[in-house]
Amino acid sequence: MAERMGFFTDTTVCIGCKACEVACKQWNRLLATGSGMSRIYGYSYDNTLNLDGFHWRHVKFIEQFNEERSQAQWLMMSDACKHCAQAPCIDACPEDAIIRTEYDTVVVQPELCKGYFACAGACPFGVIEGDPDIRIARKCTLCYDRLKNGLIPACAKTCPTDSIQFGPLIELIPRAKERVKQLHEQGETKAYLYGVEQDYLGGLGNFYLLIDQPEVYALPQKSQL
């Protein structure tokens, strides 16, 4: 097996441009109209709302105000499948349709999926959703087809600020820890890494640098995993 590959997402440099969402849809030929259409919901600039069978990337916009509402800030975060080391979706699938690839990533094999969608209920991050029209579970593949051809995932390739960084986790984790140290030295003492320890389902293949509690970003606490 090759080195375990994955994403380090530094939310402090995300500008909410949604280029990653567009690149993901374009490369994976995900619907932009009909059932998969993004709409204006009134939740800030979020027109995706969550991850599902048509949205494998989701940029979250979190608006925060002080009590007087005289000051505000946005937290932004590009989210996707976590490619867990101990993936509950793999264990839940009765047809062995979800596999671990040679890059230690988690991929649904559509030709084997029978549409039971037990994987959707097992995922603590709400990543997987079934396509009701074709009865197949769908989610981020970490651009498995691109990796096989020596290319990096479309979202990381497109990100203009390197908020989404791709590579071997053995290289990304030390880099992320240095980034946290840098932010602490600059006064952002709330910065920390989410998902690097093994008690996060064995370690997430898509981990994050955050500056607020996980639930603010709609992520489960460690104790809930």
Residue 153 is which amino acid?
P
Collect all residues with Cβ–Cβ distance below 8 Å to 77 and sequence separation of at least 6. Answer: 9, 11, 14, 59, 60, 62, 208, 210, 217
Condensed to tens digits (0 to 9), the pLDDT of residues 89-142 reads 999 999 999 999 999 999 999 999 999 999 999 999 999 988 777 889 999 999
Q: Closest by alpha carbon to 200, among 82, 81, 32, 64?
A: 82
- Percentages of the chain per state (helix, strand, coil), in multiples of 5: 25, 20, 50
Looking at residue 3, what DSSP letter applies?
A: P
Please tell me what DSSP assigns to residue 222.
G
pTM (whole model) above 0.85:
yes
Q: What is the CA angle 104-108-112, rounded to 5?
A: 130
**Rounded to an integer, what distance in angstroms lies between the CA atom of residue 205 and that of residue 7?**
6
What is the full per-residue pLDDT of the chain (225 aa) written as tens digits? 578 999 999 999 999 999 999 999 999 999 875 544 556 665 667 878 889 888 999 999 998 888 888 888 889 999 999 999 999 999 999 999 999 999 999 999 999 999 999 999 999 999 998 877 788 999 999 999 999 999 999 999 999 999 999 999 999 999 999 999 999 999 999 999 999 999 899 999 999 999 999 999 999 998 888
